Amino acid sequence: MRSLFDPVQAGDLNLPNRVVMAPLTRNRAPNAVPTPLMAEYYAQRASAGLLITEATAISAQGQGYADVPGLYATDQLDGWKRVTEAVHEEQGRIVVQLWHVGRVSHIELQPDRQKPVAPSAITAKTKTYLIKDGVGSFVATSEPRALDAEEIPGIVHDYRHAARHAVSTAGFDGIEVHGANGYLLDQFLKTGANKRTDDYGGSMENRARLLLEVMRAVVGEVGGGRTGLRISPVTPANDIHDDNPQPLFEYVVRQLAPLGLAYLHIIEGATGGPREIADRPFDYTALRKAYRAAGGTGAWMVNNNYDKALAEEAIAHGADLVAFGKLFIANPDLVERMRTNAPLNAPDKSTFYGGGAQGYTDYPALA
């Protein structure tokens, strides 16, 4: 019987166990530059089968929160290089999650205080995070503008450029494209945010076009075996929804199958909330079957409020990897704690976003 602690192959990634550290925004990268403290944080957690970094902007336009890292300038690449070296010294494996927030931003975070961009000029009824005079607060997002069709190839280029330098310059083992949680690629996918009438709107094939163009571009740069994708079919995060997500996402995974991806990362239910949403039913087993039937070989990663028992059940029923979020915040040695059934540290929610070492690198490991 398969175990959570068995090694597993995910594309070109040879992972020592099936426990994944999920991407966790922590707002500790001033001026979008990764710090030595971040290197310590990730290295502490290197016993995970795979580390996925916090979401990392592909461009200045892609930024949506204060003090989140980027991957589009030399000092950012240098900062991430220190992170990957620290993780590799601990025999860990780490991929970077590439991010463009789209409309989930604020003019204070945009170049020249321009409006954030989106598929359509529809303001997201959600909040972002700003820091002023050293104090962080959540504020309503700004009104976006719709991207012109002529601008879209530039977005694809930014993903391609970030992926290339993430691997070749910063030393990451691979890439995860963030296609979930109501950010730009998810905005294009879903009817609640995409009202376009051109080749990137209307039919599900058109709405999926940008995501698939990005995935093909990233795979073309770093190879499918080093590329993953995160999706969230029914989450309401960041004011996102789709009228008919089941056929949409089954179409998406069938199109992804020929790319030979390392993994697909599926958020089940509402991100950070209930795993089942009464008014948004979704058949994840059917989604996986659609992917496999189309020839998809990537590891199947599940995520959302998993504990050890639920994770073991998921592995027994066909999942290949399980991503854990908040548990990794407070337990740098989560794999060993779960392996030995040791008690878990409780996370301090007041230190989740912003700050320094407190609530970040000071959680104790087992003696």
Measured CA to CA, the distance from residue 123 to residue 42 in angstroms comes to 34
**Eight-state DSSP code of residue 70:** B
Q: β-strands 263-267, 227-231: how paired?
A: parallel
**Is 183 among the catalytic positions?**
yes
Question: Considering all CA atoms of the chain, what is the largest pairwise distance in Å, rounded to the nearest integer?
Answer: 60
Residue type, 197: T
DSSP one-letter code for 186: H
- Please tell me the distance from the alpha carbon of residue 302 to that of residue 329, in angstroms, as a whole number: 18
**How far is residue 275's CA from residue 150's CA, in Å, rounded to a whole number?**
38
CA distances in angstroms from 222 to 157, 168, 171, 296, 298, listed in the order given: 14, 9, 12, 18, 15
Question: For residues 194 and 137, is the Cβ–Cβ distance under 8 A?
Answer: no
Query: Do residues 306 and 266 lie in contact, with contact meaning Cβ atoms separated by under 8 Å?
Result: no
Q: Which of 183, 263, 353, 360 is catalytic?
A: 183
Residues annotated as part of the active site: 183
